[in-house]
Structure 1
Amino acid sequence: MSGDEKNGFLMKVIGPKKRWRAYKARVKELPESHRAAVEAIERYLMHFVPTDGDSNAAMFEDLADLFEQAAADGTPIRDVVGDDPVVFVDEFAQNYSEGGYVPARTRKQLTEDIERAAGTEDTTA
C-alpha cells in the first residue's frame, strides 16, 4: 500500500485528522474506567467498513459525547453498554456505517475489555 493509499484509508476510517485529534483529547479527559471502555469500543469499531470519513468522525464524536455525559452523570459503564457490549457497539455502529465483519476474537476482546473497565469504576461517587 503506497503512502497516499494508506492516508486515504486512514482518512476513511478515522475522518479528518483535526477532528480525530479533538476526539482523542476529549477521551483522554474521561475518568480512567470510562476512557478504557471508549478505547475498547474504538478498537472494535475499527473493524467496521466505513462509509466515509465524516460519518466515522461523527460516530467517534458521538461516542465521546455519550461517555462524557455518562461520566458527568455518574452512570456506570454497564448502564451505558448493557450486558452484551458487542450488541451495543454493533447497534451503535449501524447508525454510521454499512457494518463489517468482526472476527470472533475481536468480539471476545471487546467483552473482556469492557468487563475490566467496568470493574475499575469507582462506585463511591
Structure 2
Amino acid sequence: MSDAENSGFIAKMIGPKKRWRAYRARAKALPGNYRTAVEAIERYLMHFVPTDADSNASMFEDLADLFEQAVADGTPIRGIVGQDPVEFADAFAQNYSEGGAYVPASARKRLTDDIERAANEKTGD
C-alpha cells in the first residue's frame, strides 16, 4: 500500500471514530432525560438501521443536533419524537439508509418504553 493509500485508509478508520467520540460527548452532555431518549434512539438505530460509517456518523451527529436544539428551545421529548418513537426513529433513519430493516417487536417495545420513561422524567442532569 502506498503512503497516499495508507493515509486514506487511516483517515477512514480514524475519522468515524473521532466523529463517534465527539457525538458521544455531546450526547453525554445532554440533561438526563434527553440523554436517556437519545441513548434509546441510538440503540435502536445502531441495531436495526443498515448504514455505512459516514452515514452512521452523520446520522448520530444530526440526532445530537436535534436534541441539543430541543434542550435550548425547551422542547419536551414528546415534542421531538411524538407519541410513536418507533415511527420517529424509522422516519429519521430513512434519511440515512436506502433499505429498511426487520425490527423485532421487542426492540420496538423497548424503544417505546425508554422514551416513555425519558418523557416522564424531570429535566436535569
Please, what TM-score do these two structures have when normalized by structure 1?
Answer: 0.83
Q: Please list, as runs of the form range in 1=range in 2, the aligned pairs for 1:26-65 lying within 5 A after superposition.
A: 26-46=26-46, 47-50=48-51, 52-65=52-65
Deviation at 1:66, TM superposition (A): 0.1
What are the residue-to-residue correspondences of 1:22-101 with 2, within 5 Å? Answer: 22-46=22-46, 47-50=48-51, 52-97=52-97, 98-101=99-102
Shift of 1:122: 3.4
Match of 2:81, as an amino acid? V
Report the CA distance between 1:121 and its aligned residue.
2.7
The superposition leaves residues 58-100 of structure 1 with CA deviations (integer Å, 9 ceiling, x where unpaired) of 0000000000000111100000000000000000000001231
Q: 2: CA distance between counterparts of 1:114 and 1:121?
A: 13
Within 2, Cα distance between the matches of 1:121 and 1:34? Answer: 10
> Structure 1: which 5+ residue stretches go unaligned?
1-10
Measure how far apart 1:48 and its partner are: 1.2
* Residues 34, 123 of structure 2: 8 Å contact kept: no
Q: Note if 1:107 corresponds to 2:108.
A: yes
Alignment length, in residue pairs? 110
Within 2, Cα distance between the matches of 1:39 and 1:99?
Answer: 21
Deviation at 1:16, TM superposition (A): 1.1
CA distance in 1, matches of 2:23, 2:29: 10
CA deviation after TM superposition for structure 1 residue 49, in Å: 1.3
| Percentage of identical aligned residues | 71
Instruction: Specify the code of the residue in structure 2 equivalent to 1:34.
Output: Y
Compute the RMSD of aligned alpha carbons.
1.8
Structure number with the higher helix fraction is: 2
Ranges of 4+ aligned residues in structure 1 off by more than 4 Å: none
Structure 2: which 5+ residue stretches go unaligned? 1-11
**In 2: Cα distance, 1:114 partner to 1:122 partner:** 13
CA distance in 2 between counterparts of 1:88 and 1:49 reads 17
